[in-house]
Structure 1
């Protein structure tokens, strides 16, 4: 199961359609907190999360928290504002990929395949 976390409903629905068309099971969340409070937090195979979500935990904070788990949960982060500082902070969390929005389907699929191999 792949958890999709983004405050933008359009992005969640778009990613959901793509991943389901590839045969993946998905669950959608509008915040990192909603994901962490769900049963899926312990069972997801991978998380795809936006970095900037207003009013709560960022995707980078979520990746740090999930990276503390043993084994760590694979995380793919995405952002429309992937400047140097954001990239460095994301790399410090050892995320599998950081995608700059907008990104193409092939790039996401390659990142997902990399994350699920781990």
Structure 2
């Protein structure tokens, strides 16, 4: 089930990253770009919240303690949730083995990435 954005509704973008500075920076960027931002310190915090049901686009770090961003994306698919996902990583060497063949995976961006690059990926995600 893909989350649909109704007319007049602000898109909800969830950020799942164990690095507080990344969460804070992305939250500021998203809010200043007109999105509703919700941040989570790890995959389980996101899964245990109401977030998955309300999220229009997910930005998740790949490498986190506990459940990785890839495992989170796969879990959401198993749950029947098709949330367009942007994976981010400080370890881009992990990205090639992931590829973009996973359903709903929009991009895998190496940190640091430009704000414009991320916002373009979000716009692509919201059009799906």
TM-score normalised by length of structure 1: 0.91
Equivalence for 2:24: 13
Equivalence for 2:92: 82
Equivalence for 1:112: 122
2:61 is aligned with 1:50: yes
Equivalence for 2:36: 25
Unaligned runs of 5+ residues in structure 1 are none
Equivalence for 1:93: 102
Rounded Cα–Cα distance in structure 2 between residues aligned with 1:47 and 1:31: 13
Q: Aligned to 1:15, what secondary structure does the other structure show? A: helix
Rounded Cα–Cα distance in structure 2 between residues aligned with 1:74 and 1:115: 5
Rounded Cα–Cα distance in structure 1 between residues aligned with 2:32 and 2:110: 22
Unaligned runs of 5+ residues in structure 2 are 1-11
Task: Provide the aligned length of Structure 1 versus Structure 2.
Answer: 116
Q: 1:59 aligns with which of 69, 75, 91?
A: 69
Change (3 A) 1:104 1:24: same
Rounded Cα–Cα distance in structure 2 between residues aligned with 1:63 and 1:90: 13
